[in-house]
A and B are shown apart, each in its own frame.
Chain A
Amino acid sequence: MTAPVLGIEDLSVSYTTPHGPLQAVSGVDLSVGPGEIVGIIGESGCGKSTLVAAIMGMLPGSARIGSGAIRFGGRDLVGLPREEMRKLRGGGLALVSQNPMTAFNPVHTIGRQLTDFQHREGVSNAVKRARITDMFDQVGITDPSRRLHAYPHEFSGGMLQRMAIAAALLTRPQLIIADEPTTALDVTLEAQIIALLRRTRDEQGCSILFVSHHLGAVAQLCDRVLVMYAGVVVEAAPVAELFRHPAHPYTQRLLACDPALDAGGDQPLPTIAGQVPNLVNPPEGCRFAPRCLCATGRCVRERPQPVELAPAHAAACHLVAP
């Protein structure tokens, strides 16, 4: 097995709050192999965005990395000097953000911004523009020379997200982190962007970390999926395996809640009652226990460790048997 592009080991991130430290991410392990697309799903507030910010070295000042390592390109990003970290952003690591409508500066033309994003390349502006035109071609933007002179507000959300992906590709990334890249787009565009991300991986060979709360998108795009709940990874599995044999009760119920996968006909759509626990004082045992229908006394007391159920399929639950 080749060395992973990104390897996160036992990462914990907490935020300082007036009520005490908030454990946003606790002991997360994650690896993304070369050319692999790994998905992270979970509901809002489960630590996805904190994880992304930690990888990018863009955690807010109130956040502390308590323990763990983030290995990328042979280095540990935790404790990397600020300036070194900055060089990795847009130089190996690229981020495609959630809302394409705000991802570009409204006062500069698209061409100016995409040229600016290549500030690391020691080439002339003409060469940079030629590269942009190439990239536009790859992400399916027609008439590139005219687009370069247009401002962000002249484009639709789908076009802007394509441009954001083109911008990410311009930096020749080894890893693209796509943080809910389709959330702000409508369904037809979502399918297009997902197809584009897959093609990007196939053609450029870069790895993608795809963060989403949309199960359908994850199912279509990813090779492997991690399910996060309340700052911990509760289940990790190859995508087909996860959707066919979800092991963790949270995963099972998350899948049941997806309207697209709902086969219940006129039955009301199931929901998971309750809320993500307060992470200032997280439950002592399994974090899902308060909302779990099959929780036992052990679940409340003892924190479950990941159990390997099948090759590359692990779930952190006391109730699953290997």
Chain B
Amino acid sequence: MPRFSAPLRFLQRIAADPAGLFGLVVAVLFTIVALLSNEISPYDPAHIAVIHRLEGPSRAHLLGTDQLGRDTLSRILVGSRTALGVSVVSILLAATIGAPLGLLAGYGPRWFGTVLLLLLDIVNSLPMIMFALALLVLVGPGFWTVVGVIAFFSVPGYARLIRAQTLSLGQSGFILAARAMGAGLGRILFVHLLPNAMGALLVVVTMDIPSVIGLEAGLSFLGIGIQPPTPSWGSILNDGFSFIRNTPDLVIFAGLPLVATTIGFTFLGERLRQILQPKAAP
């Protein structure tokens, strides 16, 4: 029984706070829409009908059309899939690489921690847009290029977070007890330290989703992200930007979901922080 009710109780606690509830609703809605976007979008987002270009909202096109006559609603819906895909994959990738590095830096040999911090500082000092442009030239644009760039620049954050958690947990009694029981490095890192850092990790992951969505939109806006015809909120904004004087709808409609998800996930992360790290909350 407790196995089943614990997650439910956790969701209840998140929803107990209005901001938390809002965040939860946005996150769930965003995920459902993204997963079902192909099924629920009224038109093929790549279907071009130049006769209907830059139309305002109508019964046929609820949010109007873009400069090629493509249905804006469909493009935004399918764009959410791109946003979710990029953020989930790149964050998972960054956390999977960053967490073990952070664990080892916080608990393993001291030289490793020192070397890693140096490397992370180097990564942090690289200009991301320049790096993305360079990679673009080398391997060409696309989903994996965007994911790669974002993951690469997110690894230091995760590694540092897990390292900090590990440093403070490393001296606790249960780690000593586990060592006294003959636990090896792997067991201490992944059985004892990592689960204790999961709360903090979850908070940061949640807070990171909107910033990654923003990054993807930013790269796509600059034309170095997701390439047409795949819709992305950033490229819709870019399209709309060219016609902002006569047709501001495009920018507004593509900007709204971006703002909503950002606020939603930030509220959710804030609420998770309140619940999981009561001491760290301001």
Q: Which residues on A are within 8 Å of B, measured CB to CB?
A: 56, 58, 61, 86-91, 94-95, 97-99, 101-108, 116-117, 119-120, 149, 164, 167, 171
Contact = CB atoms under 8 A, between A and B. Distances in A.
A3 to B, nearest CB: 24
A58 B176 contact: yes
B179 A58 contact: yes
Contacts of B5: none
B177 interface: yes
B182 A120 contact: yes
A105 B178 contact: yes
Given A56-B180, A86-B184, A103-B177, A108 B172 contact: no
Contacts of B187: 116, 119
Given A99-B173, A103-B173, A116 B191 contact: yes
24 contacts: A56-B180, A58-B179, A87-B182, A90-B183, A94-B180, A94-B181, A97-B173, A97-B180, A98-B173, A102-B172, A102-B173, A103-B177, A105-B178, A105-B191, A105-B192, A106-B174, A106-B196, A107-B196, A107-B198, A116-B187, A119-B183, A120-B182, A167-B177, A171-B181
Interface of B: 2, 110, 172-174, 176-184, 187, 191-192, 195-196, 198
7 closest A-B pairs (Cβ-Cβ)?
A: A102-B173, A90-B182, A95-B180, A90-B181, A89-B182, A103-B177, A107-B195
Contacts of B183: 90, 116, 119
Contacts of A119: 182-183, 187
B173 A91 contact: no
A98, A116, A164 — most chain B CB neighbours (10 Å): A116
Contact of A58 (B174, B180, B184): B180
A83 to B, nearest CB: 8
Contacts of B110: 61
A222 B155 CA distance: 54
Nearest to B3: A149
A91 B174 CA distance: 18
A99 B175 CA distance: 12
A101 B2 CA distance: 23
Contacts of A58: 176, 179-180
Contacts of B184: 86
Contacts of A86: 182, 184
A101 B173 CA distance: 8
